[in-house]
Amino acid sequence: MDVLVCLKRVPLAGGTLILTPDSKDIETKHLGFGISPHEENAVEAGVQLVEQMGGTLTLLTLGPPDAEEQLRTQLAIGATRAILLETDGQEWDPQGTAAALVDAINAEETKFDLIIFGAESADSAGYQIHVRVAHALNRPIITNVKAMKIENGTLSCDRVVSAGREHYEAPLPAIITVRDGLNIPRYPSVPGRMQARKKPIDMKKMQAHVPKLEKLYLTVAPSKSTGAEILGKGVEAVPALVEILKKIGTI
């Protein structure tokens, strides 16, 4: 079982986002970096599959040279090796990113049985790279997976919807996107971190890409109101709240 997990380095933003002076990006001077939440589940799923079935787990990312930091952390969790498609730090649009990932996957000798993405990136939420990769590689794709198993070369997955669960199946090789809740991602161990330093990362410099979805600038979304009307402290405020519920028609 050879698994590939695609990742994205993103800033770990807290409650408030601050923009760079040119309004093109988030000011990251004082921020740490990580990967998107669902991607931690993607790596965990890959590690578990290789533990159960043998094989290799490869990580793939497109990003700045500093994305090595995120790859090393995930290598420490149990991945075998990683590929870093180096950009100059500019954001790539989804079409360009998907094409670069496809080229990198096609250039590999390993024919990955399963390619795993997180369901959405924390920062850009374009909802399409995985689908484009599936089309280019002519593979089935199941998205938003919250439970999965592989038996006799068939992948079975569940997707959670508001009214319950939908069940999907596809033959391998396949592509999935996974959601938070699929598993509980483990933390890297100290020996894992030591080993990760020596694990191979293939670096490949990418040529600048001309986007068809071109970001012009960012603005911080206004919050709903200037703040809440404080009805009071403790149970003494409950009658005031009941009046509000009457006013808005809840009771």
Residue 234 binds another protein, judged by CB under 8 A: yes
| End-to-end CA gap in the chain | 57
- Name the residue nearer to another protein (CB basis): 16 or 207: 16
* 30 sits near another protein (criterion: CB under 8 A): no
- The secondary structure of residue 109, as a DSSP letter, is S
Q: How far is the CB of 130 from another protein (least distance, A)?
A: 8
The minimum distance between CB 170 and another protein, in angstroms, equals 5
215 binds another protein (CB under 8 A): yes
251 lies in the site for another protein, by CB under 8 A: yes
Which contacts qualify for 21-27: CB closer than 8 Å, 24 or more apart? 22/217, 23/217, 23/218, 23/219, 24/215, 24/217, 24/218, 25/91, 25/218, 26/123, 26/218
Query: Smallest gap, in angstroms, from Cβ of residue 91 to another protein?
Result: 10
Residue 8 interacts with another protein (CB under 8 A): yes or no:
no
Q: Parallel, antiparallel, or unpaired for β 141-151 and 174-178?
A: parallel
Q: What is the Cα–Cα distance from 249 to 246, expressed in whole angstroms?
A: 5
Give yes or no for residue 227 binding another protein (CB under 8 A): yes
Cis peptide before 140 (omega within 30 of 0): no
Point out which span in 47-55, 89-97, 100-108, 201-209 binds another protein (CB under 8 A).
Answer: 89-97
206 binds another protein (CB under 8 A): no
For residue 208, state whether it binds another protein (rule: CB under 8 A).
no
Structure tokens at 156: 């079975």
Q: Does 229 contact another protein by CB under 8 A?
A: yes
Q: What character string, x for contact with another protein (CB under 8 A) and - otherwise, covers 108-147?
A: -----------xx-xxxxxxx--xx-xxx-x-xxxxx-x-
Count of residues near another protein by CB under 8 A: 82
CA distance 201 to 72: 9
- For position 235 contacting another protein by CB under 8 A, the verdict is yes
DSSP 30: T
